Amino acid sequence: MEHIKPKPPKSHRCVFMDIIKVLKGKPIALDKDSIGCMGGKRYLGFSKEIMPDFEYFLSYGKEGLEGERYKKSPETGKEIMKRMPTFEAPAGYIVFKRIDL
C-alpha cells in the first residue's frame, strides 16, 4: 500500500495547483500546515477564517490585492461565499488520488 504524507508548502500557492498534480496522476495529501492558501484551508475544513476582501481576490482584485479571476466580479464572489458550506475536516488530513488509474 502506498503511503502519502502531507508536505509543507514551499511557498504560498493555491490548492488548485496541487489538484493539477493529481490530474496528472500524482496522489497528494494535505493537512492544515501543508495548504498554502487561506481559501483552501477554509473550504477543505481546516479553518473557519477567511482573509479580508476575499471576494476581490476571487475576482479582479483591487489596489494592493491581486485577483485570481475565478469569478467575474466581487459581488459574484461574495454570493458564492455566502452559499458555500463550511465544515470541520473529519480527519487531520485529506488525500486526493485519481481512482481511474
Return the SS3 of 55.
helix
At residue 77, the pLDDT reads 94
At residue 1, the pLDDT reads 53
pLDDT tens across 30-73, in order?
999 888 888 899 999 999 998 899 999 999 999 999 999 999 99
Q: Rounded to an integer, what distance in angstroms lies between the CA atom of residue 75 and that of residue 90?
A: 31
Given a cut of 80, whether residue 13 has pLDDT beyond it is: no
Q: Rounded to an integer, what distance in angstroms lies between the CA atom of residue 78 and that of residue 3?
A: 38
pLDDT range class, residue 3, cuts 50, 70, 90: confident
Q: Rounded to an integer, what distance in angstroms lies between the CA atom of residue 95 and that of residue 91?
A: 10
Given a contact cutoff of 8 angstroms between Cβ atoms, the answer to whether 58 and 38 are in contact is no
The mean of the pLDDT values for the chain is: 88
Longest CA span, the chain: 49
pLDDT range class, residue 11, cuts 50, 70, 90: low
At residue 17, the pLDDT reads 85
